[in-house]
Amino acid sequence: MVPFVINLLAFISLNADTARFVEVLTSGIQIALFFWLKAVIIILTAVEHDKKPINTRLLGTVSWYLALPLLLASFAYFILVTIGMLAIIPGILFLIWFCFAPTIIVLKNTTLSNAFRDSRKITRGKELPLIWRIVVGVAVFTTIFMIVLVLMGFLISALQGITLQMLLTSPPSLAESTLEYLLIIAFAPIPIIYNTLLYLDFNKTAAKQIKIDKSDSK
């Protein structure tokens, strides 16, 4: 929210060149804050899931330390999936196999290569159940988000005394932009939490399978 306010004030009070510089600067701040917050959410979700105590004083510092590796893992994952999508099937497989790599790099504080390797191990042989749960999760999240967005549109149009069509075709006002920004902030943690819970579930299943395989080999 802070970068948004800074950016807004810059466009109101500064000349075009300075405002553009501030926009780039605040975009960088937003990216850094996003990955810091993502690391915080991943850690908190895992801690709450495992019912473990957490040192809230260290949480922010540790999350800053993990923000850059998380960014790199997310970027590498995006590149792999994007390149794979050129042939469609590899892209879908990469999407499934490595979907936990960013989460792993936060929770295990490991290297980029180890995070992708561990993600592949966890998802091996579980592609269909995983993609099903991803699709269902995305569908539910998108549906809820769109419903809230439409309801917000009706509310704004009613308060302003205009039709929904006029609201959609006219440039967004400051109030509309602010509400949209707040809505995105409110919904942003949900996919992160869902992905983290998926990882914890599949990781637990994989660990059990490893124990079974070891006992069978004996």
> Cα 186 to the chain's mean position, in Å?
12
Question: What percent of the chain shows pLDDT beyond 90?
Answer: 42
Q: What is the mean predicted confidence (pLDDT) over 184-210? A: 87
> What pLDDT is recorded for position 5?
47
Name the nearest CA neighbour of 99 among 124, 82, 123: 123
Q: CA quadruple 31, 48, 60, 64: dihedral positive or negative?
A: negative
> What pLDDT is recorded for position 104?
96
> Cα 29 to the chain's mean position, in Å?
16
Q: Is residue 152 part of a domain?
A: no
> What pLDDT is recorded for position 15?
58
Helices (H) and strands (E) in the chain, counts: 10, 0
Q: In which domain, by residue range, is 109 found?
A: 2-124+188-217
Q: Is residue 65 part of a domain?
A: yes
Q: Is residue 22 part of a domain?
A: yes
What DSSP designation does 172 have? P
Distance from C-alpha of 49 to C-alpha of 196, rounded to nearest angstrom: 10
More reliable by pLDDT, 109 or 208: 109
Confidence band, pLDDT 50/70/90 cuts, at residue 149: confident
At 60-79, the pLDDT tens digits run 889 999 999 999 999 999 99
Q: Is residue 173 part of a domain?
A: no
pLDDT at residue 132 is higher than 60: yes
Q: Is residue 180 part of a domain?
A: no
pLDDT at residue 2 is higher than 50: no
> What pLDDT is recorded for position 164?
59
Q: What is the mean predicted confidence (pLDDT) over 36-51? A: 93
Q: Which of 2-16, 43-57, 132-146 has the lowest mean pLDDT?
A: 2-16
Q: What is the mean predicted confidence (pLDDT) over 148-167? A: 73
Alpha-carbon distances of 141 from 10, 97, 112, 147, rounded to whole Å:
34, 22, 28, 10
174's enclosing H/E stretch is: helix 174-187
Q: Is residue 51 part of a domain?
A: yes
Domain count, the chain: 1
Q: Is residue 62 part of a domain?
A: yes
> What pLDDT is recorded for position 78?
96
At 81-104, the pLDDT tens digits run 999 999 889 999 999 999 999 999
Question: What percent of the chain shows pLDDT beyond 70?
Answer: 78
Is 69:112 a contact under the CB 8 Å cutoff?
yes
Mean pLDDT of the chain: 82
Q: Is residue 7 part of a domain?
A: yes
